[in-house]
């Protein structure tokens, strides 16, 4: 794994490896001394073109717990507002020796451009791009689901296990949701069944090609007894006006697709409620549901740190030799031999 750009980049083995590594990272976070020397001397840049509190803090905490140096860059108050391009920002970061760039951008595909343009040699982690992908969110959701649903409800060791057989309902604004897109792909990779529930206006075109079922009726889906319900935030900022014409009124949306105490009671006993946050209490989720013992929303935040530690570890801890191996031929002879090979490759590229 060289970059993490999309949940679809991960195959089953890689996804399970990330979740297992996150499990070990989480174990270290229960200790008195939470900081590990693992990424000492590495520099991680949080490049945030779009506002985000929890994702940025989560990545920052993860990098710091692994002893990496962290540079936070937010577009507001930077030269980006003077018109600097992504390319020039990336070249600056490269010159400063960033080993990894965590990027959040309002444009879908910006992380992909950054990773494949040669502007930076560091690993690129997508922390949310437009309406496209948010892979670490999907990983932390999968980690949370695995903790609660697999291995006798989380009492047994879940290392190495996937989510085969689990049924997850993803409810709400699927159209604008990168969380939904990432989750559908990752949950499918891990063997879970996904049902998307949304008003017809908030279902993306081409959804029939996604590996998920689609329903317009939340009560009907809840009656089938899903193992988990993932509520999505109604993204007012991506809709013009209050509802933007996607639904008649907030009240009507709440009636049709909001999770309240009545709907919560329809769920099976073991089912859990997830929400990527920030929540619009009273709109897509009621206070009853958000504060119920089944809601694992606060736990998701804690798991987010462990998952991001795992991702940074897996992307950064291996040396240049490891990256060379990832990019090219596997099974080269010795350690020193490998390093020489990689250098030759690089020289060739620059020549």
Partner 1 sequence: MSTGTPASGHGRPAPPTSHEASGTTVLSADDVARALTRIAHEVVERNKGVDDVVLLGIPTRGLPLARRLAQRLEQVEHVPADELVGSLDVTMHRDDLAHQPTRTIGETYVPGDGIDGKVVVLVDDVLYSGRTIRAALDAISDLGRPRAVQLAVLVDRGHRELPIRADYVGKNLPTATAERVRVLLAETDGEDRVLIEGGAR
Residues that bind partner 1 (CB under 8 A): 17, 20-21, 24-25, 27-28, 31-33, 36-38, 41-42, 66, 159, 313-314, 317-319, 321-322, 325, 334-336
Dist CA 292 CA 157 (whole Å): 26
Give the containing element (helix H, strand E) for 105: strand 100-105
Q: How far apart are the first and last CA of the chain?
A: 26
Annotated active-site residue in 2, 54, 161, 325: 54
Residue 109 known to bind ligand? no
Least separation, in Å, of the C-beta of 162 and partner 1? Answer: 17
β-strand partners of 285:
259, 281
Residue 29 known to bind ligand? no
Q: In this complex, which beta carbon is closest to partner 1, that of residue 301 or of residue 322?
A: 322
C-alpha closest to that of 192 among 149, 158, 154:
149
For residues 137 and 159, give the distance between their C-alpha atoms in angstroms, rounded to a whole number.
20
In this structure, what token pair is assigned to residue 161? 């296990």
| Closest among 274, 295, 19, 29 to 158, alpha carbons compared | 19
DSSP secondary structure of 67-130: T-EEEEEESTTSGGGGT--HHHHHHHHHHTT-SEEEEEESSTTHHHHHHHSSS--SEEEEEEET
Is the separation of the CB atoms in 324 and 345 below 8 Å?
yes
State which residue, 22 or 285, has the beta carbon closest to partner 1: 22
| Nearer of residues 295 and 316 to partner 1, judged by Cβ | 316
Is 148 an active-site residue? no
180 to 196, 274, 278, 314: CA distances (angstroms): 8, 12, 15, 24
Residue closer to partner 1, measured from CB, 33 or 95:
33
Q: In angstroms, what is the minimal distance from the CB of 320 to partner 1?
A: 8
User: For residue 4, how far is the Cα from the chain centroid?
Assistant: 10
The single residue of 55, 144, 195, 254 carrying the catalytic annotation is: 55
Is 137 annotated as ligand-binding?
Answer: yes
76 is catalytic: no
**Nearer to partner 1 by C-beta: 17 or 239?**
17
When the beta carbons of 29 and 113 are compared against partner 1, the nearer one is 29
SS3 196: strand
Instruction: Flag whether 82 is marked binding.
Output: yes
Distance of CA 250 to the CA centre of its chain: 27
201 is catalytic: no
Measured CA to CA, the distance from residue 266 to residue 190 in angstroms comes to 26
Per the annotation, the verdict on 350 as an active-site residue is: no
35 is in an annotated binding site: no
Q: Which residue has the tokens 């969110």?
A: 137
- Pick the catalytic residue: 42, 104, 146, 308? 104
Catalytic residue among 134, 147, 263, 275: 134
| Most distant CA atoms of the chain, gap in Å | 67
Is 178 labelled as part of a ligand binding site?
A: yes
Is 34 labelled as part of a ligand binding site? no
Contact partners, residue 32, CB within 8 Å, separation at least 6: none
31, 82, 348, 350: the catalytic one is 82
Check the annotation: does 76 bind a ligand.
no
Would you please indicate which residues are annotated as catalytic (active-site) residues? 54-55, 82, 104, 134
Which residue numbers belong to the known binding site for L-aspartate? 82, 178, 233
Which residue numbers belong to the known binding site for carbamoyl phosphate? 54-55, 104, 134, 137, 277-278
Which residue numbers belong to the known binding site? 54-55, 82, 104, 134, 137, 178, 233, 277-278
């Amino acid at each position: 794994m060289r970059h993490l750009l999309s949940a679809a980049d991960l195959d089953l083995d890689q996804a399970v490896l990330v979740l297992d590594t996150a499990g070990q990272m989480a174990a270290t976070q229960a200790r008195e001394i939470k900081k590990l020397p693992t990424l000492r001397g590495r520099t991680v840049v949080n490049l945030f073109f779009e506002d985000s509190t929890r994702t940025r803090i989560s990545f920052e905490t993860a990098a710091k717990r692994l002893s990496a140096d962290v540079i936070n860059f937010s577009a507001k108050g930077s030269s980006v507002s003077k018109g600097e391009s992504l390319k020039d920002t990336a070249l600056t970061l490269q010159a400063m020796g960033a080993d990894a760039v965590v990027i959040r951008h309002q444009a879908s595909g910006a992380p992909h451009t950054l990773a494949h343009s040669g502007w930076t040699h560091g690993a690129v982690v997508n922390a949310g791009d437009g309406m496209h992908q948010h892979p670490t969110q999907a990983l932390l959701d999968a980690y949370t689901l695995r903790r609660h649903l697999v291995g006798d409800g989380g009492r047994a060791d879940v290392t190495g296990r996937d989510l085969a057989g689990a049924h997850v309902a993803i409810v709400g604004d699927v159209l604008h949701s990168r969380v939904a897109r990432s989750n559908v792909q990752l949950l499918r990779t891990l063997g879970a069944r996904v049902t998307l529930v949304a008003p017809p206006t908030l279902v993306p075109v081409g959804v029939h090609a996604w590996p998920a079922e689609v329903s317009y009726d939340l009560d009907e889906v809840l009656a089938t007894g899903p193992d988990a319900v993932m509520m999505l935030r109604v993204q007012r900022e991506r809709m013009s006006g209050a509802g933007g014409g996607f639904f008649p009124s907030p009240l009507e949306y709440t009636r049709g697709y909001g999770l309240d105490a009545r709907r919560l009671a329809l769920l099976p006993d073991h089912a859990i409620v997830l929400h990527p946050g920030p929540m619009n209490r009273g709109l897509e989720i009621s206070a009853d549901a958000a504060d119920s013992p089944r809601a694992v929303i606060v736990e998701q935040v804690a798991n987010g740190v462990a998952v991001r530690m795992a991702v940074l570890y897996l992307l950064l801890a291996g040396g240049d030799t490891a990256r060379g191996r990832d990019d090219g031929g596997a099974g080269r002879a010795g350690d020193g031999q490998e390093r020489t090979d990689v250098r030759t490759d690089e020289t060739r590229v620059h020549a």
